[in-house]
Amino acid sequence: MFTKNPLILAPMAGLCDRPYRRLCRSFGADLAVSEMISAKGLVYGDRKSRILLAPDESDRPYWAQLFGSEPEIIRDAAQIALEAGADLIDINMGCPVKKVVRTGAGAALLREPERAEAIMRALNRAPAIPYTIKIRSGWNNQQTVLDLFIEMAATHNAQALTCHPRTAAMMFSGRADWQQLAAALPRATLPIIGSGDINDPQTAIKALAIPGLAGIMLGRGTLGHPWIFREIKKLLQEGVEWTPDSELKRATILKHGELLSEEYGEKTGLLLYRKHLAWYSKGLAGAAAFRKRLFTLTSFAELENAIGDLFQEDV
Ligand SMILES: Cc1cc2nc3c(=O)[nH]c(=O)nc-3n(C[C@H](O)[C@H](O)[C@H](O)COP(=O)(O)O)c2cc1C
């Protein structure tokens, strides 16, 4: 799964739903990770968590991400996810958001390596669950846990480890420290995937050239730009600097709306579509007027016209 330097859509809560994963896959994302799903929610039968977990056949192998803090609950949730059709389970050990950290999940596990290890041990217990972990480089600058977590993940048979090399304290400020990640690779005995600040094909290719790196994840750089996966592959495989023409962009944006409408119904789909449309329109002539207009539209048919007008203005 991680042998061919995959380009991966990073997990993003509230964004990487089935429609978005499908869209990015259609542009060449080799893998995609689901939004984080509460382990507790799954175990206690929460309906929303079950909906988030639903697989999509165009997104295989299906890599579902769980968050939680209790080893046995995470193991039970992982089992539920496998039964529901997930192929691989990622455990979120990097989310720095207060709401998550307060519960002992996400990046809180970087401060509690024993608990993180207990989670890995529980997942590796027979019958072993196919799993990966995703971390940040540490809680703060005083405490880097990259080497420790790489070692624990290898010991407990994780299939890969993804690192976003910022500390939890940094949230999204500063820059991802790719040098720190690169320096840890020679000692790693499991595939390591890098995530952070890959926003264009040139940066992606530089990251893929880091010796020993098994793959890269792209998150924010895909927003309004899901075709970035094809841009990277064209440059990587053919040396061609490709960008979609206005027609393909317009068709992609409309397709995204269609997928959202199918998934959630027109009303909710429209709400979710708006935030993506703000990203899609960024930098286009007429974007400001378009974004204003978005709030007055109440149907997909009206939106289609607005999107058509936007691209009319852009040519
Ligand atoms: C809106 C948003 C939501 C995110 N949600 C998750 C999540 O659910 N699970 C996770 O492991 N990381 C999450 N991340 C972190 C990303 O997966 C990624 O590691 C990080 O954004 C750095 O990559 P980027 O610079 O390509 O965005 C999220 C990031 C953003 C911006």
Is 225 near ligand 1, meaning CB less than 6 Å away? no
pLDDT in tens, 111-149: 999 999 999 999 999 999 999 999 999 999 888 899 999
Residue 299, pLDDT > 90, answer: no
Residue 302 CA, ligand 1 centroid: distance in Å = 32
If pLDDT is split at 50, 70 and 90, which confidence band does 297 have? confident
**Which pLDDT score, from 0 to 100, does residue 314 have?**
59
- Residue (of 169, 177, 118) closest to 143 by Cα position: 169
Residue 315, pLDDT > 60, answer: no
Is 218 near ligand 1, meaning CB less than 6 Å away? yes
**Which pLDDT score, from 0 to 100, does residue 143 have?**
84
Q: Which domains does the chain have, with CATH numbers?
A: 7-238 (3.20.20.70), 246-314 (1.10.1200.80)
**Which pLDDT score, from 0 to 100, does residue 298 have?**
86
Average pLDDT of span 87-93? 98
Residue 274 CA, ligand 1 centroid: distance in Å = 20
Residue 101, pLDDT > 60, answer: yes
Is 94 near ligand 1, meaning CB less than 6 Å away? yes
Average pLDDT of span 281-295? 90
11 CA: nearest ligand 1 atom: 17
Q: What are phi and psi of 143, to 5 degrees?
A: -140, 95
**Which pLDDT score, from 0 to 100, does residue 4 have?**
85
pLDDT in tens, 15-66: 999 999 999 999 999 999 999 999 999 999 999 999 999 999 999 999 999 9
If pLDDT is split at 50, 70 and 90, which confidence band does 1 have? confident
pLDDT in tens, 41-51: 999 999 999 99
If pLDDT is split at 50, 70 and 90, which confidence band does 312 have? confident
Residue 216, pLDDT > 80, answer: yes
Range of lowest pLDDT (122-126, 182-186, 309-313):
309-313
Calculate the average pLDDT of the chain.
Answer: 96
Residue 39 CA, ligand 1 centroid: distance in Å = 18
What is the amino acid identity at position 195?
Answer: S
pLDDT in tens, 235-280: 999 999 999 999 999 999 999 999 999 999 999 999 999 999 999 9
Q: Tell me which of 164, 199, 200, 272 to substitute to probe ligand 1's pocket, judged by most ligand atoms within 8 Å of the beta carbon.
A: 164
Is 196 near ligand 1, meaning CB less than 6 Å away? yes
Rg (CA), the chain: 20
Residue 313, pLDDT > 70, answer: no
Looking at the annotation, which residues are catalytic?
Answer: 95
Average pLDDT of span 71-89? 98
Q: Is the pTM of this model over 0.85?
A: yes
Is 11 near ligand 1, meaning CB less than 6 Å away? yes
